[in-house]
Amino acid sequence: MQTGKIGVTTENIFPIIKKFLYSDHEIFLRELISNAVDATQKLKAMASAGDFKGVIDESPIRVTVDKKKKTITVSDNGIGMTKEEVDKYLNQIAFSSANDFLDKYKDQINSIIGHFGLGFYSSFMVSDKVEVISKSYIDGSPAVKWSCDGSPEFSIDEVEKETRGTDVILYIDKESKEFLEESKIEQLLIKYCKFLPVEIAFGKETEWKDGKSVETGKDKIINNTKPAWTIKPSELKDEDYLKFYRELYPSGDEPMFHIHLNVDYPFKLTGILYFPKIKSNIEIQKNKISSIAIRFL
């Protein structure tokens, strides 16, 4: 077993993460899902380039909640990590000092995650301990488990894992027990992950049978991996645009019209602009586009 200290220049980094990112503590789920999507797409890109000869399955990213164990687990079948990669990517956080960090970003706390690659470490905002179990796509690479309790101390062990990919297991702290409610997690998945390009499974589909709701055994897929703005306008009909609008705004009136944007120069932009009907009692927000169906590339 390998043990050591995470590469930080101050031992106060975890209290800083927990305290100063706490107002956006729900963002941890978005960051972990984004990492899982990246790992999945990297493997597909390697396969397309001929650098990976194995089988690419279409298994979704899975999110599970265990209220008894007080854990949330995010699992993918992506590229995975070797022991050396775990050590490199999880144990090296480089800040000149905590004070410089806070002085520079005291007015931009919400933008800290991502700027420093802190996405994974946002999990410590809601956890007493985090474990990462990963197996690389590289043949013969043993699976490894990284564990950290929110201090700079960590451990890495070789473990058994049959499938390629990564499981991130969060042991939720007592202040964050709201995230052990399945309804809360589903709400956040819909909020942050609704149109990610890899399927995200959370729970099972249900149907009404014999006077009660029962699980069907089929994965409940949270997101739409092929939203309308990613499809060529020539392949869409008016009813397709209306269906997508209903997906965005289930209780809204039909829009007056829409514009499908597909710009290649001077930058690439794809998106759909919907123009709602204006009522006399509606409060107009000037200079604001309110839509999640627009994407800059």
Q: Provide the residue-wise pLDDT of the chain in tens; the chain has 297 residues.
A: 777 665 554 455 666 666 665 567 898 999 999 999 999 999 988 888 888 888 888 899 999 999 999 999 999 999 999 999 998 888 775 443 344 545 555 554 444 444 445 678 889 889 999 999 999 999 999 999 999 998 878 899 999 999 999 999 999 999 999 999 999 999 999 999 999 999 999 999 988 887 888 888 899 999 999 999 889 999 999 999 999 998 888 877 888 999 998 888 787 888 899 888 776 655 555 555 544 444 433
Radius of gyration from C-alpha coordinates of the chain: 22
**Token code pair at residue 137:** 């796509």
3-state secondary structure the chain: CEEEECECCCCCHHHHHHHHCHHHCCHHHHHHHHHHHHHHHHHHHHHHCCCCCCCCCCCCEEEEEECCCCEEEEEECCCCCCHHHHHHHHCECCCCCHHHHHHHHCCCHHHHHHHCCCCHHHHHHCEEEEEEEEECCCCCCCEEEEEECCCCEEEEEEECCCCCEEEEEEEECHHHHHHHCHHHHHHHHHHHHCCCCCCEEEEEEEEEECCEEEEEEEEEECCCCCCHHHCCHHHCCHHHHHHHHHHHCCCCCCCCEEEEEEECCCCCEEEEEEECCCCCCCCCCCCCCCCCCEEEC
Give which of 134, 166, 137 is closest to 52, Cα–Cα: 137
**22 within 8 A of 125, measured Cβ to Cβ:** yes
Domain positions in the chain: 2-179, 228-296
| CATH code 3.30.230.80 for 228-296 | yes
pTM, rounded to two decimals: 0.80
pLDDT tens digits for range 92-113: 754 433 445 455 555 544 444 4
For residue 94, how many C-alpha atoms fall within 13 Å in the half-sphere facing its CB? 2
**Class of domain 2-179 (CATH, top level):** alpha beta
